[in-house]
Each structure stands twice: as C-alpha cells, then as structure tokens.
C-alpha cells in the first residue's frame, strides 16, 4: 500500500480489481506535490529513493517513526556517485533526492542490505549512461537480488552480471509492459508452518511454489533438519506437529526467518545456535534485542554475540510481549504463545504491515485469539 501511494504521487495510475492490479505508466514520472510517505516500509523507502533519482525535480521521502531509524546512507552515497543529488538526515530519512541519474560505476557494500543493490538496479535502466555496480564484500540476501534480475528481465531490461553477483552492468533502455503473476509469500507462511510443527496437529498451506527464488522457502530445510514432519504437493505444504531437535543454522541469506526460527528453537529439548544475525539489529526493530528480551520474559535463556545467538530450549511461560511495532516479532511470539498457557501481544495490529489476516487465520486453525 505504501508503494501504491508513492507511485500514485509520481503520476502512475493504479487500478485494483480483486486480486489483480493494473499499473499504467506514462513514460515519465512527475514531481509529487508533497513529500512521499513510505509509512513503515523499508523496502519502499529504498526503492522509491532510487526511482525518484531519475526525476529532474527534488523529492522528499519520509515515513513513520520506525522508518526514520532505518539506514539509507550507502544508497544515498551511491546515487550521488551516479550523478543524482541525494541527501539524508545523518544517514537516515527523510531523504531529499533529485535527478537526473547520469550513470557510471559505483561500489556498494553487500553486507548491509540487498535492497540497496536492487534499488540501484531498478533505477539504472533510466540513467543517461550505462551503470556498473560493484559489490564489496559478500552479498547477503543474494536471492532477493536474483528476484530483481528476474523481474527486470520480464519487463524487457537486459543486464550482465558475474556468477557470484558481485559485478553488474545495466545499459539504458525503457521498461516494457508485462503480465506478472505474484507468488504466494513464503515469509508470511513461515509462521503458520512453524506453528504446525510446534503446536499443531497438521496444517496445509496452499499457494507456495517450490521452484522459487524466495529465500524463506529454506524454512522447509530448517524444519527438516529439526526432525519435523512435512510434505509437499502441487503448490502446497503440509506440516505436522513434531518432536523437534536443536539446530545450527546461518540466516545471513534469509534474515526474515530469524524470529520464527527463534520461536521453534525455544521449545526444543537442547541448545540451538543461529548465526548471521548482525544485520538484524537494523530492521523494523532491533530484532536480536526484541527476541532475546521476549524469550527471557518467557523463561527461555539465551546467549548473544555480535553475529550469533544461542537458545536453550525449555517450556515457555506466560508473558506479555512488546513486539516493538515489528510485525515479524509479533507473529513469532504468537507462534510461541501456542506452546504456553497464554501470551499477550501488545500493539498486535502491527502484523497488518505484511499479513493483515494473521490473527483471523490463526483463529481459523483452532487457536484462541482474544482481542482486548
């Protein structure tokens, strides 16, 4: 919704009919009459900043309170190198950006956010000259960049890149119209699948394609390694309640799974180790802090370092959890709450950021959900 609103302010026409959306561009984006609010969407912030760098007018991009804490400095610096004027509030929103984007070569770190790389790729075809993007260090969340390349290809943009995704070259050219079918969301489904493995009997979630670039499909590998019972057939996944075992897992390339893996690890008999958590401190909340604090409230002991966390599984206790206005934290503790007498989630409506029907879906599966 934040992206729809931002694009509409740039002169794009968006028509919705049921589950279909028709987006009509007119070949040239206009100057918005007022600042663009990205609400609480970090993805929208990064993508809209890059898109607006192609407009020869200054645009202000801002958002809600948690979004103002999301870093955007590396992207702003990269856009400056490519010829746009882009300033931030000490590396954070609000962002002021003005095109045109001239092009050239730029280096950007791969260990902060793949959204920076995808944002530059989205704007690059509209630059005056070809754009070369070099990634310094290891590119994390690689699959999200692969999704961007795939989607650009569907819209007629041709790019060159190295196999390790550390060097990209995008030549100028227009995007062509396309018909796209959006896959079901593995990231949202993860909470229901974890709930089935820890507290359910058997749950089938439909609309999940196995042949996908979505990183969070690897939750199935995690559940399997934890001795969970699952099966797949023609776009659906079935998970049954299982006696889960501890796990050692690296979430560098699937950081959105961190909260739900923490929830599963909290109920196993043994010690689990989750690595690759450094970037999780700059998401919608400090997710490492939010999860360790909440787990402690539920009687689950944790040990934390800069890039890993150790969770000592136990029987979680009743608690009241503040998810820090973070949808994934709220859903993770709701999942864990199914293994307790009761858990109270404050500001529970924050799940609407990515999964508005989460509470009603959970209730339809037999959970007791009480709204205060």
Give the pLDDT of residue 284: 84
Give the pLDDT of residue 372: 77
- CATH code for the domain in which residue 338 is found: 3.65.10.10
- Show the low-confidence residues of the chain (pLDDT under 50): none
**Residue 43, domain member (yes or no):** yes
Please tell me the distance from the alpha carbon of residue 236 to that of residue 257, in angstroms, as a whole number.
19
DSSP H or E segment with residue 106: strand 104-109
Residue position matching structure tokens 């119209």: 177
The residue from 256, 296, 322, 361 that is catalytic is 256
Give the pLDDT of residue 173: 78
DSSP H or E segment with residue 274: strand 271-275
The number of folded domains in the chain is 2
Give the pLDDT of residue 27: 86
Whether 17 is a known active-site residue: answer no
Which of these, 276, 29, 263, lies nearest to 138 by C-alpha position? 276
207 shares its domain with 345 = yes
Which of these, 144, 152, 145, 151, lies nearest to 166 by C-alpha position? 145
- The domain boundary residue, chosen from 138, 170, 202: 170
**Residue 372, domain member (yes or no):** no
Angle separating helix axes 114-123 and 142-154, nearest 10 degrees: 20
198 shares its domain with 154 = no
Give the pLDDT of residue 36: 98
Please tell me the distance from the alpha carbon of residue 281 to that of residue 108, in angstroms, as a whole number.
20
Do the Cβ atoms of 276 and 251 come closer than 8 Å? Answer: yes
**Residue 369, domain member (yes or no):** no
145 shares its domain with 30 = yes
Give the pLDDT of residue 111: 85
Helices first, then strands: H and E counts in the chain: 11, 19
DSSP H or E segment with residue 294: helix 287-297
Give the pLDDT of residue 283: 85
Beta bridge partners of 236: 206, 233
């Amino acid at each position: 919704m934040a992206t729809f609103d931002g694009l509409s302010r740039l002169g794009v026409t968006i028509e919705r009919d049921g589950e279909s959306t028709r987006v009509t561009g007119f070949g040239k984006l206009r100057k918005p009459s007022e600042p663009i609010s990205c609400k609480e969407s970090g993805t929208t912030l990064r993508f809209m900043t890059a898109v607006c760098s192609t407009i020869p007018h200054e645009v202000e991009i801002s958002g809600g309170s948690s979004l103002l804490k999301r870093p955007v400095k590396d992207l702003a610096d990269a856009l400056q190198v490519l010829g746009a004027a882009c300033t931030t509030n000490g590396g954070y929103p609000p962002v002021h950006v003005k095109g045109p984007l001239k092009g050239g070569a730029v280096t950007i770190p791969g260990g902060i956010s793949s959204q920076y790389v995808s944002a530059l790729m989205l704007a690059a075809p509209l630059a005056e000259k070809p754009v070369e993007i070099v990634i310094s260090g290891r590119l994390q969340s690689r699959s999200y960049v692969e999704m961007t390349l795939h989607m650009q290809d569907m819209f007629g943009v041709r790019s060159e890149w190295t196999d390790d995704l550390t060097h990209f070259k995008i030549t100028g050219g227009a995007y062509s119209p396309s018909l796209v079918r959006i896959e079901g969301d593995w990231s949202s489904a993860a909470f229901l699948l974890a709930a089935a493995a820890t507290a359910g009997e058997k749950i089938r979630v439909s609309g999940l394609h196995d042949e996908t670039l979505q990183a969070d499909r690897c939750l199935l590998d995690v559940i399997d390694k934890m001795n969970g019972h699952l099966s797949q057939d023609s776009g659906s996944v079935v998970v049954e309640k299982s006696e889960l075992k501890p796990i050692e897992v690296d979430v560098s390339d699937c950081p959105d799974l961190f909260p739900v893996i923490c929830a599963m690890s909290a109920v196993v008999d043994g010690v689990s180790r989750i690595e690759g958590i450094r970037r999780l401190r700059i998401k919608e909340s400090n997710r490492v802090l939010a999860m360790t604090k909440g787990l402690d409230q539920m009687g689950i002991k944790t040990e934390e370092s800069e890039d890993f966390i150790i969770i000592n599984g136990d029987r979680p206790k009743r608690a009241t959890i503040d998810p820090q206005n973070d949808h994934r934290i709220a859903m993770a503790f709701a999942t864990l709450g199914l293994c307790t007498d009761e858990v109270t989630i404050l500001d529970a409506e924050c799940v609407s950021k990515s999964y508005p029907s989460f509470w009603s879906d959970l209730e339809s599966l037999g959970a007791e959900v009480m709204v205060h």
